[in-house]
Structure 1
Amino acid sequence: MRTNVVIDEELLKEAMKLTNAKTKKDVINLALKELVENLKRKNLADLKGKINFIEDYNYKLMREGK
Structure 2
Amino acid sequence: MATNLALDQELLDRAFRVSGEPTKKAAVTRALQEFIARREQKRVAELFGKLEWDSGYDYKAERGRKL
The two structures share one fold, judged by TM-score above 0.5: yes
Any residues of structure 2 matched to 1:1-66 within 5 Å, and which? 1-65=1-65
Deviation beyond 4 Å, 4+ runs, structure 1: none
- Would you say how many aligned residue pairs link Structure 1 and Structure 2? 66
Superposition deviation, residue 56 in structure 1: 2.7
Quick one: which amino acid aligns to residue 14 of structure 1? Answer: R
Q: What are the ranges of 5 or more consecutive residues in structure 2 without an aligned counterpart?
A: none
SS in 1 for 2:60: helix
RMSD: 1.3
d(CA) in 1 for partners of 2:51 and 2:8? 42
Superposition deviation, residue 3 in structure 1: 0.4
Superposition deviation, residue 18 in structure 1: 1.1
d(CA) in 2 for partners of 1:10 and 1:36? 22
Q: Which stretch shows the higher mean deviation, 27-36 or 40-49? A: 40-49
Instruction: Give TM-score, length-normalised by structure 1.
Output: 0.90
d(CA) in 2 for partners of 1:25 and 1:39? 21
Identity of aligned residues (%): 36
Quick one: which amino acid aligns to residue 19 of structure 2? Answer: T
